[in-house]
Homo-oligomer: A and B are copies of this chain.
Amino acid sequence: MDTLSSLQQLLNPQKIAVIGASKSKGKVGEIVFRRLMGSRRRLYPVNPKEIVIEGHKVLADIGSLPQDIDLAVITISAAAAVNAVEECAKKGIPNHIIVAGGFGEVGEEGRKLEQKLKNLTRKYNIRILGPNSLGIFLPDENIDTIFVEHGDKALDRKGKVACIVQSGSVGVEALGYASNTGYGMRAFVGLGNKCDLDEIDFLKYFDQDKKTNCLGFYLENIERGREFLDAAKKTTLKKPVVVLKAGMTETAVSAVSSHTGKLAGSDNVISGALKQFGIQRVYDDEEFCDATKVLSMLKQAPGNRVAVLTAAGGYGVMCTDFIEKDENRAPLKMAKLADATKQKIKEATFDFTACENPVDITASADDRMFSQSLDALIADDGVDIVICIAFFAPPGISENLIDIIAEKTNSSDKPVIVFTKYGPFTDNFIKNLYFAGVVGYPSVGRTVRAARFLVERARILKRLGQEE
């Protein structure tokens, strides 16, 4: 079977064995089995010490499994896991997820175990995700093998971002983080130690996946560097590829070495290469989520001229500061508004409205004024991106503003990004914006940075298009 078909089977299995399934609350084998019970697939728990789990008859050993299992999720510890994989392989199970750590990342003994796993993949022609994998999560397929808490349902709204992460902790926290404020995830894959399947395999898979429109990677090392870059460059012509590559500095490189048992390449080289091949690099999980969110939800920016609409003057000014600040990623410009645009806004609002960009319709504004001013900005040919400052304190501004912005965002080709802040309710507002299809952030800096991700993407496409 080729890799793409294997991954298809691994990510959307019909029959799943859970080696080490358990009834003991909090054990990895218990959590994974419980999560999979929501999948409506056929489950085969295996554990010599259990008889029945939640109505499922437990098999005493791997040998008792039927022949046509698609995936074995192996929740037992390192040395036992290696034996289990071999037994599963002998039963003809083609795909394996190994949760346990204690392999290459913990020294010589672990490295030997990991080598054994590698040998098994060749000997039996099987595929392994992990070891030390956090598991997989695909909301649309009801597949979830992640054994730690990973946030609420705000994730599974027909999301289109495929997140492929090497480190469990970072991955799961990015998940939780994203779920607090709304984030559309197509798939989450914990690569772990990558004894077999790695970022390139999943890059190629999600490149083809119709439900994915943006790929995000958290990587600590890239072993087949050139291959990854070549593949990513192909993907990036269709879908944005974002990489959080820890190990930017010299000290970080040696830290990575001790964390995953593999050496990261010289970071400057990696940084330059990522750029050249059209990959968008980010530096922590906040940036990772912010970038993939905006790239997944919004259309391409036609240019870099930004208009800012606000009912809170101070934020308009700060936003301008961030827009005009020199930034490595992609330069932005304050749009110069057409006279007709200014006239429309004045008519919709007040004589005294500051119609220069940023457009400050003041705290006396109401929903209608905001709406008509936004229309005018979107219609202006000199505007490529609109940043709305949705500030709910003015008495005339109501929560209907969310739907107003959503309607315009969803019917326009121009990206509209929202900055909002509302005391203790900020996260809820951003989540409500998300549910209405609007990209929102809770800080001025992050909102403007999101616009940069869009402009960076547009420039990448332009450059790669010219090279073709």
A residues lining the B interface (CB < 8 Å): 26, 101, 105-107, 148-152, 166-170, 172-173, 175-177, 179-180, 218, 220, 244, 246-252, 254-256, 258-260, 283-287, 312-318, 320-325, 334, 351-352, 354, 356-358, 360, 362-364, 391, 393, 395, 421-424, 426-427, 442-445
How long is the Cα–Cα vector from A272 to B12 in the complex, in angstroms? 59
Give the contacting residue for A283; candidates B148, B321, B364; CB below 8 A.
B321
Q: How far is the CB of A302 from chain B (nearest CB, A)?
A: 21
Residues of B within 8 A of A284 (CB): 318, 322, 443-445
Excluding A106-B362, A177-B426, A283-B321, 14 further A-B contacts by CB distance (< 8 Å) are: A107-B351, A107-B352, A151-B424, A166-B314, A167-B312, A169-B315, A176-B423, A218-B314, A248-B321, A255-B317, A284-B443, A286-B442, A286-B445, A427-B427
A-B contact pairs, 14 of them (CB 8 A): A169-B314, A170-B312, A173-B421, A173-B423, A176-B422, A180-B423, A220-B314, A248-B325, A250-B324, A252-B317, A252-B320, A255-B316, A259-B314, A283-B325
Residues of B within 8 A of A26 (CB): 395
Q: Could you say how many copies of this chain the assembly holds?
A: 2
Residues of B within 8 A of A246 (CB): 314, 317-318, 321
Asked if B318 and A259 sit within 8 Å, CB to CB, the answer is: no
Asked if B426 and A248 sit within 8 Å, CB to CB, the answer is: no
Residues of B within 8 A of A180 (CB): 423-424, 426
Closest residue of B by beta carbon distance from A147: B393
Closest residue of B by beta carbon distance from A389: B169
Give the contacting residue for A258; candidates B312, B354, B363, B424; CB below 8 A.
B354
Also in contact, A176 and B424, with CB within 8 A (given A170-B318, A312-B170, A445-B284): yes
Also in contact, A252 and B314, with CB within 8 A (given A106-B352, A287-B445, A352-B106): no
How long is the Cα–Cα vector from A424 to B356 in the complex, in angstroms? 40
Residues of B within 8 A of A107 (CB): 351-352
Asked if B283 and A322 sit within 8 Å, CB to CB, the answer is: yes
Also in contact, A251 and B354, with CB within 8 A (given A148-B393, A315-B170): no
Asked if B444 and A356 sit within 8 Å, CB to CB, the answer is: no
How long is the Cα–Cα vector from A90 to B180 in the complex, in angstroms? 55
Give the contacting residue for A256; candidates B317, B422, B444; CB below 8 A.
B317
Q: Which 6 A-B pairs have the closest CB atoms?
A: A176-B423, A167-B314, A258-B354, A169-B312, A259-B313, A249-B324
How long is the Cα–Cα vector from A314 to B285 in the complex, in angstroms? 10
Give the contacting residue for A423; candidates B177, B287, B320, B357; CB below 8 A.
B177
Q: Considering residues A249, A318, A358, A444, which has the most beta carbons from chain B within 10 angstroms of its beta carbon?
A: A318
How long is the Cα–Cα vector from A283 to B220 in the complex, in angstroms? 31
Asked if A320 and B255 sit within 8 Å, CB to CB, the answer is: yes
Q: How far is the CB of A324 from chain B (nearest CB, A)?
A: 4
Residues of B within 8 A of A105 (CB): 313, 362
Closest residue of B by beta carbon distance from A110: B352
Residues of B within 8 A of A149 (CB): 393, 423
Closest residue of B by beta carbon distance from A180: B424
Closest residue of B by beta carbon distance from A109: B352
Asked if B334 and A251 sit within 8 Å, CB to CB, the answer is: yes
Closest residue of B by beta carbon distance from A102: B364
Asked if A169 and B391 sit within 8 Å, CB to CB, the answer is: yes
Residues of B within 8 A of A259 (CB): 313-314, 316-317, 354, 360
Closest residue of B by beta carbon distance from A177: B421
